[in-house]
Amino acid sequence: MSYHSPSNPKNAPPSNRQFLLVIGMFLGAIAVFFWLFKLLLNGIIMIIPLEVEQQLGTVIVPTYEQQAKPSPQQNTLNQLLDRLEANLPSPQHSQRDYQVLYIPESTVNALALPGDKIVIYQGLIEKVKSENELMMVLGHELGHFAHRDHLRGLGNALLIRVSLGFFLGDLGIFQIPVGNSIEAIANAQYSQSQEKQADAFGLTLLNKTYGHVAGATDFFTRLSQEENNSLSFFSSHPASQQRIKKLEQLIKENNYPILDRSSLPKVLTNVSKNN
């Protein structure tokens, strides 16, 4: 009985080996291109003038403004945000006008949008039990502004389009419709390091605002038991237990005090009944 050894690229005919080598080099070139372009894009994002970012906001924000009509809840959220903003470092405070857009929908999520807008959904407000943990969420979103993470969703969309355009030769693919830009922001998935940076920023801001960090981990502790549910918050954020562990480590390292929590403003309690 004759024996046939299993197929192996090393035993392939010379022409096949050359073909596999070319394919490997092509795929390697794509990977290198993606890496270099993303590196360049991240560098550009960090130096985009504030005026350009604000102009981008005029294109994206109106879609959310239509859903967020003026309300007592939105006014209260902006008053809370003003308290945090007063404690921001100068680079994150100068020439900025942060505002909350409150959307009365059951989605459990918060978004940072170009144009200094923070979107807070009713579903998230229904989950918080104290003013402190709500301020931690707002501080976290301000952290995304500080590190310009809110622009990276658009950057990733641009990366994919430019890469496809480069390799497929389709110049029209460089154009990103407004609808796609909004979707890229809404579905932005930040990296673990970006989320941890934003958490650390929010923690520092919480301590500056209250003189302690009570409530810093409450929101994540409560939601950690719901991560198997289809909550929008967890489609764009890492597992809560990881965040809790890192926050507890930072609290210990910085010797932050933990005192009494402040009650949630009355207008934000039972929000489902107030809308």
Structure tokens at 148: 């310009």
Q: Which residues share a beta bridge with 43?
A: none
- Enumerate long-range contacts of 93-98, CB under 8 Å, 24 or more apart: 95/50, 96/50, 96/145, 98/142, 98/145
- Residue 141: active-site member: yes
- Calculate the alpha carbon distances from 181 to 10, 42, 61, 114 in Å: 46, 17, 11, 11
- Pick the closest to residue 214 from 263, 154, 144, 270 (CA basis): 263
Q: Are 127 and 223 in contact (CB under 8 A)?
A: yes
Please identify which of the residues 126, 141, 183, 227 carries the catalytic annotation. Answer: 141
Query: Which residues have a Cβ under 8 Å from the Cβ of 17 and sit 6 or more positions away?
Result: 9, 10
CB within 8 Å of 20: residues ≥ 6 apart: 9, 12
Residues tagged active-site: 141
